[in-house]
């Protein structure tokens, strides 16, 4: 395998932060996160398959030989992420100065959310996405690895930011080839019509301490679309627990 630089690595660790504000003379109150929280990203290794070695055949003058060829090519449309999720609860003021932090703990459920929208409006109403919508926004055309052949419309039920969805789902393998990891797609971070990349989010459904595609124990595994033809997209990460 070759190491590919310049992209966010797989094997990331996410930390969701719930912040409580303190006001003088106010009664104590419990505060919980009402929407997905921005996440820190710890980048691990990034790998890319370099392709199979060329097969060969010995030729002899006068011979005629039937050979059947097959080629496996690496997708240029999808980025994979996998890793663990921890939660830390904190008591901080508006400047980010902490009065107290509670020890980070592993999480059991929720979603690791990725979007190209660097100013996601969580006040908007999310809606279901389809593979065709992703296809259109990323201009994937009719290639074998396009979004219509990757996401199954209406296959994933999930609640994100209080919105119940029956939306498109992509599934990826564990180390034995089982389709055990789910990525849900949704729209609505801009205007909900799914025509701009920044309207989309992709949610890796958390399954704590489960087997990744390479046999390691992780909490989520997901794929996101990226600009084809050697291009790239920057994703911003959130966690909803």
Is residue 11 within 8 Å of 45, Cβ to Cβ? yes
Cα angle value 139/140/146 (rounded, 5°): 155
Over the stretch 91-132, which tens digit does the pLDDT of each residue have?
Answer: 999 999 999 999 888 888 999 999 999 999 899 999 999 999
Average per-residue pLDDT for the chain: 85
pLDDT value of position 40: 73
What is the per-residue burial (b if ≥16 Cβ within 10 Å, else e) of 193-215?
ebeebbbbbbbbbbbeeebbbee
Widest distance between CA atoms in the chain: 98
Q: Which residues contact 63 (CB under 8 A, 6 or more apart)?
A: none
pLDDT-wise least confident of 17-26, 102-111, 166-175 = 17-26
Spatial separation of the C-alpha atoms in residues 239 and 85, rounded to whole Å: 8
Name the β-bridge partners of 163: 160
Over the stretch 60-102, which tens digit does the pLDDT of each residue have?
Answer: 999 999 989 888 889 999 999 999 999 989 999 999 999 999 9
Spatial separation of the C-alpha atoms in residues 241 and 236, rounded to whole Å: 17
Name the β-bridge partners of 223: 80
The DSSP secondary-structure symbol of 133 reads H
Percent of the chain with pLDDT over 90: 64
Structure tokens at 14: 């996410």
pLDDT-wise least confident of 4-8, 39-43, 55-59, 192-196 = 4-8
């Amino acid at each position: 395998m070759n190491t590919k630089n310049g992209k966010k690595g797989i094997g990331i660790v996410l930390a969701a932060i719930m912040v409580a504000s303190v006001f003088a003379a106010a009664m104590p109150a419990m505060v919980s996160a009402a929407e997905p929280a921005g996440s820190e990203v710890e980048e691990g290794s990034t790998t890319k398959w370099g392709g199979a070695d060329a097969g060969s055949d010995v030729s002899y003058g006068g011979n005629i030989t039937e050979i059947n060829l097959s080629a496996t090519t690496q997708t240029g449309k999808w980025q994979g992420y996998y890793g663990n999720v921890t939660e830390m609860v904190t008591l901080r003021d508006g400047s980010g100065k902490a009065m107290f932090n509670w020890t980070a703990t592993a999480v059991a459920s929720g979603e690791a959310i990725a979007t190209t929208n660097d100013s996601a409006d969580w006040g908007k109403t999310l809606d279901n996405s389809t593979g065709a919508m992703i296809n259109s926004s990323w201009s994937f055309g009719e290639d074998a690895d396009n979004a219509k052949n990757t996401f199954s419309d209406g296959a994933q039920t999930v609640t994100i930011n209080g919105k119940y969805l029956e939306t498109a789902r992509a599934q990826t393998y564990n180390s034995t080839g089982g389709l055990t990891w789910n990525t849900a797609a949704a729209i609505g971070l801009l205007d909900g019509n799914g025509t701009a990349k920044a309207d989309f989010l992709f949610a890796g459904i958390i399954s704590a301490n489960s087997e990744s595609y390479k046999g390691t124990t992780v909490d989520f595994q997901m794929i996101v679309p990226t600009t084809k033809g050697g291009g790239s997209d920057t994703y911003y990460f959130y966690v909803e627990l």
